[in-house]
């Protein structure tokens, strides 16, 4: 489903090149929920952005649904990303002047899906994430946890092969964090949605079935991880 092979990344911005990731290898099967754990600066967001096709790696390959995304040109990648990849941001990234429902519909607008179909799918997803009564409000009228639910619904509307989330609970209090993780787990177990979730909190990672750990841009050996009780 998702295969990362010999992935390395060096940033060339700044005074000297910085190698942020080296020799990353792993795969995620359809229906898995994986936590990507590591301390600040270990390369989690960089890895996630590479896997989501938001930037190109300096070396290595990323296969999603059998396609090498690092080989695609900008146009093909944009089209592929819209239909195969969902993304959940720490800061929700909702559009303030669109209603909750319109925000969720947006990826389908880009796909040219008709209004009525978009509307029905958005409303159904919003009720699945617990926001049935909030569809016509604006993002500013919702709590942080509710805004993140909107962004989760938006990430799912195109039925992507995989959803990436970069610290999706980073702006939320502990109780709301738990509710959002509950929701992601329910979407994973109940609907088979594949998730890769970046976190630096062991509490969040502990609740997923599988943890991939980064340290200084390298994957920590799973056996060592187990030994550490991660
Ligand atoms: N555009 C960039 N140009 C140069 N260096 C960068 C760039 N983006 C990230 N880095 C460097 O890459 C390293 C890893 O950054 P990254 O954002 O992937 O870490 P992270 O694990 O997500 O950290 P955090 O938990 O704080 O979000 C850092 O040393 C950072 O300074
Ligand atoms: Mg980060």
- How close is the Cα of 42 to the center of ligand 2, in Å? 8
SS3 108: helix
Element counts in the chain: helices (H) and strands (E): 8, 10
- What pLDDT, on the 0 to 100 scale, is given for residue 207? 87
Atom of ligand 1 nearest to the CA of 42: 21
- What pLDDT, on the 0 to 100 scale, is given for residue 190? 92
CA distance 203 to 205: 6
- Largest separation between any pair of C-alpha atoms in the chain: 53
Strand partners, 63: 3, 68
Domain definitions of the chain by residue range: 29-59+80-228
Q: In the 8-state DSSP scheme, what is residue 220? A: P
Residue appearing with tokens 């996630």:
48
pLDDT per residue of the chain (230 residues) written in tens, 0 to 9: 999 999 999 999 878 899 999 999 999 999 999 999 999 999 999 999 999 999 999 999 999 999 999 999 999 999 999 999 999 999 999 999 999 999 999 999 999 999 999 999 999 999 999 999 999 999 999 999 999 999 999 999 999 999 999 999 999 999 999 999 999 999 999 999 999 999 988 888 888 989 999 999 999 976 555 555 44
- How close is the Cα of 34 to the center of ligand 1, in Å? 20
Nearest to 138 by CA among 107, 104, 168, 109: 104
Say whether domain 29-59+80-228 belongs to CATH 3.40.50.300.
yes
- What pLDDT, on the 0 to 100 scale, is given for residue 224? 59
pTM value is: 0.93
Nearest to 219 by CA among 57, 18, 22, 61: 22
């Amino acid at each position: 489903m998702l295969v990362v092979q010999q992935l390395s990344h060096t940033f060339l911005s700044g005074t000297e090149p910085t190698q942020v990731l080296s020799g990353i290898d792993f795969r995620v099967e359809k229906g898995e929920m994986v936590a990507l754990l590591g301390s600040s600066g270990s390369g989690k967001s960089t890895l996630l952005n590479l896997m989501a096709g938001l930037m190109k790696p300096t070396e290595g390959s990323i296969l999603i649904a059998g396609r090498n995304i690092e080989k695609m040109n900008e146009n093909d990648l944009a089209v592929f990303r819209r239909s195969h990849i969902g993304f959940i941001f720490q800061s929700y990234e909702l559009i303030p002047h669109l209603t909750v429902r319109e925000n969720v519909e947006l990826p389908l607008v880009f796909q040219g899906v008709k209004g009525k179909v978009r509307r029905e799918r958005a409303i159904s997803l919003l009720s699945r994430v617990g926001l049935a009564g909030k569809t016509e409000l604006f993002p500013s009228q919702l709590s942080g946890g509710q805004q993140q639910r909107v962004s989760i619904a938006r990430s799912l509307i195109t039925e992507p092969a995989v959803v990436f989330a970069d610290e999706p609970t980073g702006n939320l209090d502990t109780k709301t964090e738990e509710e959002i993780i509950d929701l992601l787990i329910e979407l994973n177990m109940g609907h088979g949605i594949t998730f890769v979730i970046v976190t630096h909190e062991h509490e969040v990672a502990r609740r997923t079935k599988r943890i991939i750990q980064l340290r200084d841009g390298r994957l920590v050996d799973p056996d060592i991880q187990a030994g550490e009780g991660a």
